Amino acid sequence: MKIHDIAFIGAGASALMAASLISNKDIALIDANPRIGAKILISGGGKCNLTNRFATAKNYLGDNNFIAPTLLRFPPKEVLDFAQKHQLDLEERSHGQMFCRQSAKALVAIFEKKILTCKLYLSTKALHVEKNEYFTIHTDQGKIYAYKLVVASGGLSYASIGASDIGYKIAEHFGHTVITPSPALVGFTLQKEQFWMKELSGIAIPVTISVEGKSFSENLLFAHKGISGPAVLSSSLYWKKGKMSIDFLSNISLKALLKKHSQKQISTALPLPKRFTKAFLESMQLEDKVISKLKNDEVTKLESLKCYEFAPAGNFGFSKAEVTKGGVNTAEINPQTFESLLCPNLYFIGEVLDVSGELGGFNFQWAFASGYCCAQEIF
Ligand SMILES: Cc1cc2nc3c(=O)[nH]c(=O)nc-3n(C[C@H](O)[C@H](O)[C@H](O)COP(=O)(O)OP(=O)(O)OC[C@H]3O[C@@H](n4cnc5c(N)ncnc54)[C@H](O)[C@@H]3O)c2cc1C
């Protein structure tokens, strides 16, 4: 019977970074997918937004005291150095986002080379785990044994590429608490009052969304059954219940605009897609008239473009969510080593933990940083 030094459940971003940094150990990488890094391959529209140059703990939902030291030990610059060292060509986009210039395949290919000595158990689904002097990992392909177990199984998003609740089950089995997982970085569905937006599918507008003391200035995309786009996805991370505020005239003074174009019709004066303006005016029961002829209450209605109150009905669910918020309670994890404080030799890294980043490279940054810190411990 072979007992590995270390087994990783999951061969995604966090496990690959960790495994590629550990030398002289017998490592097993177990993944339900037929190949490693499945999520990396589909991320960022196939170009993987692998970090964000400006990432700090403020870009994450979770315990800042747990997240900040990890990011300090393995900041975005380390990810960029890693990319440069392996000649991975990157492209910087808005807000410090760093994408693979050619394809996410190039990043996975780097990891493939770096984990050549690891034993890969692919197309192998972990089912449950027991511990005596070592861990026994029961899988649909038989048992795998290891002295140390790193749970790097990610969240519940995108079950189509291997996501499962195994990480939470293992955590609970060993006495951990799990903050209820829910979909995040996901679009919102509409309540009746916003059904007017249904007609706008395909339109994108630069907006500022304010939610729970945070604000995001990016595009909002009207989708068939709701709203999506970068500003909406990041907002979904912080939204709990109730309303958020959407400014459809981001960085534009409505007052100045109305003054300047007082002799124009509303739809001509507003720098917004005509289809949007028409639907908005109808929803407000506002006539598209010359601005100087608007009564006070009509101006007030128009002003709601700057602070439109939006209360989502719900969201598009795990199948569309880019991440899972919630997860293994970080209060029960050693922030230096990522080892469980309840079960020696058991580690949790990446998205399975109760740490979730905004849209824009922050989640891979977390996966890599937590993988790095854990690898330093296991070295
Ligand atoms: C469509 C999409 C696009 C994204 N784009 C970006 C982006 O551009 N930038 C960014 O920062 N973040 C992005 N993310 C988020 C990012 O991919 C994740 O946060 C990150 O991959 C988490 O890394 P991880 O190692 O914790 O988990 P993962 O990378 O999800 O890896 C977990 C692995 O565990 C395996 N697994 C799960 N259960 C089992 C089981 N029972 N048995 C065996 N194996 C199992 C899975 O198959 C998976 O391969 C995106 C997510 C999605 C869904």
| CATH number of the domain to which 173 belongs | 3.50.50.60
- Decide if pLDDT at 209 tops 90: yes
Q: Do residue 179 and residue 223 come from a single domain?
A: no
Q: Judge if 213 and 124 occupy the same domain.
A: no
What is the distance between the alpha carbons of residues 249 and 302, in angstroms, rounded to a whole number?
11
Look at residues 266, 298, 315 and tell me which one is the last residue of a structural domain: 315
Of 79, 82, 68, whose CA–CA distance to 336 is shortest? 68
Q: Which atom of ligand 1 is nearest to the CA of 33?
A: 47
Whether 272 shows a pLDDT value over 90: the answer reads yes
In sequence order, the β-bridge partners of residue 226 are 189
H or E stretch covering 356: strand 356-357
* 212 Cα to the center of ligand 1, angstroms: 26
- pTM, two decimal places: 0.96
Q: Which helix (H) or strand (E) holds 234?
A: helix 230-238
Quick one: which atom of ligand 1 is closest to the CA of 157?
53
170: left (phi over 0), alpha (psi -120 to 50) or beta: alpha
362 with 303, same domain? Answer: no
**What's the rounded Cα separation, in Å, for the pair 50 and 44?**
8
Counting every residue, how long is the chain? 379
328 lines ligand 1 (CB under 6 A): no
Identify the three-state secondary structure at position 109.
helix
| Residues 221, 56: Cα–Cα separation, whole Å | 27
Cα distances from 261 to residues 3, 205, 285, 299, 354, in angstroms, run 76, 21, 21, 14, 50
pLDDT of 378 > 90? The answer is no
CB 144 within 8 A of CB 14: no
**Is the CB of 55 within 6 Å of ligand 1?**
no
- Among 299, 315, 331, the domain-final residue is 315
Last residue of a domain, one of 298, 315, 332: 315
Counting beta carbons within 10 angstroms of the beta carbon of residue 256, is it exposed (0 to 12), middle (13 to 18) or buried (19 or more)?
exposed
Ligand 1 centre to CA of 331 (Å) is 23
**Phi and psi at residue 99, in whole multiples of 5°?**
-110, 155
In which element (H, E) is residue 149 found? Answer: strand 142-151
Number of helical H runs and strand E runs in the chain = 12, 21
Ligand 1 neighbour 32 (Cβ under 6 A)? yes
Q: Whose CA is nearest to atom 47 of ligand 1?
A: 162
Q: Ligand 1 in contact with 15 (CB < 6 A)?
A: yes
The answer on 118 and 28 residing in a single domain is: yes
Residues 348 and 299 in one domain: no
R_g over Cα of the chain: 24
- For residue 85, pLDDT over 90 is answered with yes
Question: Smallest Cα–Cα separation from 328: which of 350, 344, 352?
Answer: 352
Helix ranges (DSSP H) in 264-357: 266-269, 274-283, 296-303
CA 8 to chain centre: 22
Shared domain check, 324 and 252:
no
Q: Closest ligand 1 atom, CA of 367?
A: 23
If you average pLDDT over residues 230-242, what whole number do you get?
95
The pair of three-digit structure tokens given for residue 106, joined into one six-digit string: 């190039």
Interval 143-191: pLDDT, tens:
999 999 999 999 999 988 999 999 999 999 999 999 999 999 999 999 9
Q: What's the gap in Å between 49 CA and the centre of ligand 1? A: 13
- How much distance in Å is there from the Cα of 154 to the middle of ligand 1? 5
**Residues 9, 141: one domain?**
yes
Q: Which ligand 1 atom sits nearest the alpha carbon of residue 99?
A: 8
CATH of the domain at 218: 2.40.30.10
SS3 state of residue 290: strand
Which residue out of 90, 122, 144, 322 has the highest number of ligand 1 atoms within 8 Å of its CB and is therefore the one to mutate?
Answer: 322
> What pLDDT does 267 receive?
96
With pLDDT > 90 as the criterion, what percentage of the chain qualifies?
98
Residues 75 and 163 reside in one and the same domain: yes
CA of 38 to the centre of ligand 1 (A): 7
pLDDT score for 213: 95
The answer, yes or no, to whether any atom of ligand 1 lies below 6 A from the CB of 27, is no
Ligand 1 centre distance from Cα of residue 12 (Å): 6
Is residue 343 over pLDDT 90?
A: yes
Say how many domains are in the chain. Answer: 2
For residue 91, give its domain range.
Answer: 3-183+318-378
Q: Is the pLDDT of residue 241 over 90?
A: no
pLDDT band at 260 (very low <50, low <70, confident <90, very high): very high
C-alpha span between 186 and 276 (Å, rounded): 22
**Residues 332 and 290 both lie in one domain:** no
Task: Write out pLDDT tens, residues 129-138.
Answer: 999 999 999 9
- Provide the pLDDT for residue 379: 78
- What is the rounded average pLDDT for all residues in the chain? 97
| Pair (288, 171) in one structural domain | no
Both 350 and 309 in a single domain? no
193 and 296 part of one domain: yes
